[in-house]
Amino acid sequence: MSDDGGFDLGGLLQQAQAMQEQLAAAQEEQANTIVTGTAGGGKVSIQMTGAGSFNSVSIAPDVVDPSDVEMIEDLVLAALRDAAAQVMEMQQSAMGGMDMPDIGGLGGLLGGS
């Protein structure tokens, strides 16, 4: 609110710009973060960035059984899911850490108190 009791649009715009800058910084940091999803007690691992790019797949030689390819497929899929879950958690954590500003008089417009 401004000093005269009116709505402070300039202040709201500054807060919105600050939030946008925080979001951009969080997205850049996340994109550069590497997570490793694992399965089979670490026998299969997959590295990916927070932006969703896969970097590498590692499969321990003792897991490879030509008569049981389905097991390897299951382990790779489990490692992919583990890595994706870590990225999702990182994204949610980054959004939860955002400094959400008080939107002043707009709260009542949105049905709040």
pLDDT of residue 109: 45
| pTM, to two decimals | 0.64
Which residues are within 8 A (CB) of 35 and not within 5 positions of it... i.e. 6 or more apart? 47, 48, 49, 50, 83, 86, 87, 90
List the chain residues with pLDDT less than 70: 1-6, 97-113
Q: What is the pLDDT of residues 69-88, one digit of tens each?
A: 999 999 999 999 999 999 99
Domains of the chain: 9-98 (3.30.1310.10)
Q: What is the pLDDT of residues 3-15, one digit of tens each?
A: 556 678 888 888 8
pLDDT of residue 6: 67
| Residues 51 and 31: beta-carbon distance below 8 Å | yes
